[in-house]
Amino acid sequence: MIKSPRGTRDLLPPDTALWNFVETTARDVFRAYNFHEIRTPIFESTELFARGVGEETDIVVKEMFTWEDRGRAESDKGQSLTLRPENTAGVVRAYIEHKMWDRGLSKLFYIGPQFRRERPQKGRYRQFYQIGAEVIGPAASGSTSPARDAEILELLATLLDRVGITNWNLELNSVGCPADRARFNEALKQALAPVVDQMCDDCKRRAVTNPLRVFDCKVAADQPIIETLPTVNQFLDNECRDHYEAVKAILKAVRIPFVESPRLVRGLDYYTRTAFEFTHGSLGAQNAILGGGRYDGLSEALGGPAAPGIGFAIGEDRLVLSLSASAESVTRKPDAYIAPLGSGMNREAAIVARELRRHDLIIDLGDESFRLKKSFEAADKIGAKFMIIVGENEVAAAAFAVKHLASGTQETVAREGLAERLLRG
């Protein structure tokens, strides 16, 4: 038997109803905040992620699905391509490629699969789905304002609330600007020098190349050492500190609870200033339901103009895992099952079904070869509310037998009143 590849999953009904519920709710919320959808390719040049996400990040070092293109055209040959491990770099690439700065502030959202070669476990997959958003534009469009950071966080609280997730924790930090980070990295190097020999091989490498990434270490034995290291928020300059204070002040005003988490640096290199994660207790080890932050230098790192931005990505798989709603509770059952009775009745049943479906009714159809008993069983199995019998006599009389399946009561309903009867439930 051929199975789906390790770390991938098939999403089947009825569970897909939960995914649709989450995505529909997200689209509604994005609309209310005036965000518009962007769709970027599922694979991009490998270089985009190396430069965007960062050469020393776990994502780029260990987790990307990368291949060399075998295209015949000279321009394709040997090009290194990668399945997107995240979507921010792709969105900023598109922003630059299409000169989107002409539009002022771009408020974009996306929903789609991402790929990371991680060790699969509950809440961690090699193909997973993100619902994300990015706010990006020239500084003159207001993109650097702490109001944008706070609005993103408030949007997230609203979205989680709408899907019925209430007991989340917002962890907040500021990772400062490049100048702050240079001073922080120096301090980190000094603090690491006497202890790095006792740390894992990854940390030994990070200590030299990009000390901040030591905070990504998951090795239990290294954690007591990491606890003693200086934290980035001790190195913020006045502007970064004021920005951070302004974000927190708005959050307090709109009553979004948060906890400050000085060791939160996030696993991607592009972050500046605000960084955040929402966690949820029910998820176990993979408890980050979403993450995000500001990336004021990313556009320039990718060869574009200055275009500060902030965004987030929700792990949709994890969001669905933390829902208390059941798939059944968000699935609308069929309003009626139509049972064509006797030869030639498939045609008549198709006409009736077509009429009813115009009224936003969910209609399922049987087959004229079924005996009445089999039709009842089929209607029962799909949980239809009514069964409508379409036989020769009914068509001639323009009135149908409509059976309410739960109570067993049956009535005769004229053809023109059929939709209205079903809509009454």
Binding to ligand HAM (CB under 6 A) within 43-82 occurs at none
**Closer CB to ligand HAM, 235 or 278, in the complex:** 278
Closest to ligand HAM by CB, 289 vs 384, is 289
**Contact region for ligand HAM (CB under 6 A) — 66-74, 290-298, 333-341, 399-407?**
290-298
CB burial string 139-162: b at 16+ within 10 A, e below: eebebbbbebbbbbbbbbbebbee
38, 147, 152 from 294: Cα distances, Å: 19, 12, 10
Write the DSSP symbol of residue 269. Answer: T
Residue nearer to ligand HAM on the CB measure, 132 or 304? 132
SS3 293: strand
Identity of the residue, 124 or 421, whose beta carbon is nearer to ligand HAM in the bound complex:
124
**Minimum distance of ligand HAM from residue 71's CB (angstroms):** 28
- Binder of ligand HAM out of 315, 340, 366, 391 (CB under 6 A): 315
Residue 277 tokens, joined:
């994660």
Give the 3-state secondary structure of residue 291.
strand
Prior bond of 120 cis (ω within 30°): no
Question: What's the sign of the alpha-carbon dihedral 339, 343, 348, 354?
Answer: positive
Strands (E), 97-233: 106-115, 127-136, 168-174
Rounded distance between C-alpha atoms, residue 231 and residue 78, angstroms: 42
Residue closer to ligand HAM, measured from CB, 123 or 391? 123
Q: What is the SS3 assignment for 290? A: strand
Q: Is residue 124 exposed (0-12), middle (13-18) or buried (19+ Cβ within 10 Å)?
A: middle
Q: How far is the CB of 114 from ligand HAM (least distance, A)?
A: 7
Binding to ligand HAM, residues 88-147 (CB under 6 A): 88, 116, 118, 123-125, 128, 130, 132, 134
Least distance to ligand HAM, CB of residue 290, Å: 5
Question: From residue 40, how far is each of 24, 44, 72, 321 by CA, in Å?
Answer: 20, 9, 24, 26
Identified binder of ligand HAM from the candidate list 146, 304, 311, 340, rule CB under 6 A: 311
Interactions with ligand HAM, residue window 232-251 (CB under 6 A): none
What is the Cα–Cα distance from 205 to 216, expressed in whole angstroms? 13
Binding mask 248-287 for ligand HAM (x = CB under 6 A): -------------------xx-------------------
| Residue 332: DSSP 8-state | P
Q: How many CB atoms lie within 10 A of CB 394?
A: 20
Least CB distance to ligand HAM at residue 125 (A): 4
Nearest approach in angstroms of CB 286 to ligand HAM is 7
Question: Which residues are CB-neighbours of 288 under 8 A, at least 6 positions away?
Answer: 277, 278, 279, 315, 318
Residue with tokens 């740390």: 199
Closest to ligand HAM by CB, 261 or 375: 261
In whole angstroms, the minimum distance from the beta carbon of 316 to ligand HAM comes to 8
- Distance separating alpha carbons of residues 336 and 364, to the nearest angstrom: 6
Single out the residue of 206, 318, 385, 403 in contact with ligand HAM (rule: CB under 6 A): 318
Choose, by CB under 6 A, the member of 313, 341, 353, 389 that binds ligand HAM.
313
Instruction: Using the minimum distance from each CB to ligand HAM, give the nearer residue, 52 or 391.
Output: 52
Figure out which of the listed residues 180, 222, 317, 394 binds ligand HAM, where binding follows CB under 6 A.
317
| Per-position x/- string for 291-310, each x denoting binding to ligand HAM as judged by CB under 6 A, each - no binding | xxx-----------------
Closest residue to ligand HAM, based on beta-carbon distance? 315
Q: Does 415 bind ligand HAM (CB under 6 A)?
A: no
Q: How far is the CB of 55 from ligand HAM (least distance, A)?
A: 16
Q: Between residues 90 and 366, which has the closer beta carbon with respect to ligand HAM?
A: 90
Burial classification of residue 400, based on how many CB atoms lie within 10 Å of its CB (0-12 exposed, 13-18 middle, 19 or more buried): buried
User: Could you tell me which stretch among 21-29, 193-201, 288-296, 379-387 binds ligand HAM (CB under 6 A)?
Assistant: 288-296
Which residues would be at the binding site for ligand HAM (CB under 6 A)?
A: 86-88, 116, 118, 123-125, 128, 130, 132, 134, 267-268, 288-293, 311-313, 315, 317-318
